[in-house]
Amino acid sequence: MADSQENLECPITAMLRLIGGKWKPVILYFLTFGTRRFGEIAVRIPTISRKVLTEQLKELEKDGLIMRKQYNEIPPRVEYSLTDLGKSLSSVFNEMSLWGKKNVLAKR
């Protein structure tokens, strides 16, 4: 008899599939503070290349966590913000931030 639990996916694995990686959590956390332009995000994460940042933003948009708004101006202006789904991660990132301050940064 097969275990009925074996077909259930781990919820942590499912979440990490969306927000995992080196840059996505940092981008999402930064956007919890409000709408940002590409350059503002790039300055906040100086070690990320523009190419990788563009790729990560596209993936986050495809997964429904952020939205990209392009303004028809010269020079072009593009802003990124969290969707409702992305905003629902705010409490998760807040807890991760508190944990990191207490258990990692405080011990350096």
Report whether pLDDT(21) > 50.
yes
Rg of the chain over Cα atoms, rounded to whole angstroms, equals 17
Q: pLDDT tens for residues 25-35?
A: 999 999 999 99
Residue 66, phi then psi, degrees to nearest 5: -135, 160
Residues facing 69 on adjacent strands: 79
Question: Which domains does the chain possess?
Answer: 13-107 (1.10.10.10)
Render pLDDT for 74-87 as a digit per residue (tens, 0 to 9): 988 999 999 999 99
User: What's the rounded Cα separation, in Å, for the pair 98 and 83?
Assistant: 23
Nearest to 45, CA basis, from 25, 20, 59, 60: 25
Q: Show the tokens assigned to 72.
A: 């028809």
Are residues 86 and 29 in contact, defined by beta-carbon separation less than 8 angstroms?
no
